[in-house]
Amino acid sequence: MQNGWAKSKIKTYEELEDYFSKQEKISGLKKEITNKLGIHRQLTAFEEEYVLKWTNEYGYNMNIIELALKRSVFKANAGFKYYDDVLTDWHAKGLTTPEQVEAHLASISEKKTRTKQVQNLAKQFEFTQSTFDSFDNLYDN
Q: What is the pLDDT of residues 62-98, one digit of tens each?
A: 999 999 999 887 787 888 999 999 999 999 999 999 9
Residue 1 is predicted with a pLDDT of: 40
Lowest mean pLDDT among 36-40, 49-53, 100-104: 36-40
Comparing 4 with 23, which gets the higher pLDDT?
Answer: 23
Write a three-state SS string for the chain. Answer: CCCHHHHCCCCCHHHHHHHHHHHHHHHHHHHHHHHHHCCCCCCCHHHHHHHHHHHHHCCCCHHHHHHHHHCCCCCCCCCHHHHHHHHHHHHHCCCCCHHHHHHHHHHHHHHHHHHHHHHHHHHHCCCCCCCCCCHHHHCCC
Residue 7 pLDDT level (bands cut at 50, 70, 90): confident
Residue 124 pLDDT level (bands cut at 50, 70, 90): confident
The whole-model pTM stands at: 0.71
Residue 132 is predicted with a pLDDT of: 60
pLDDT > 90 in the chain, percent: 50
126: pLDDT strictly greater than 80: no
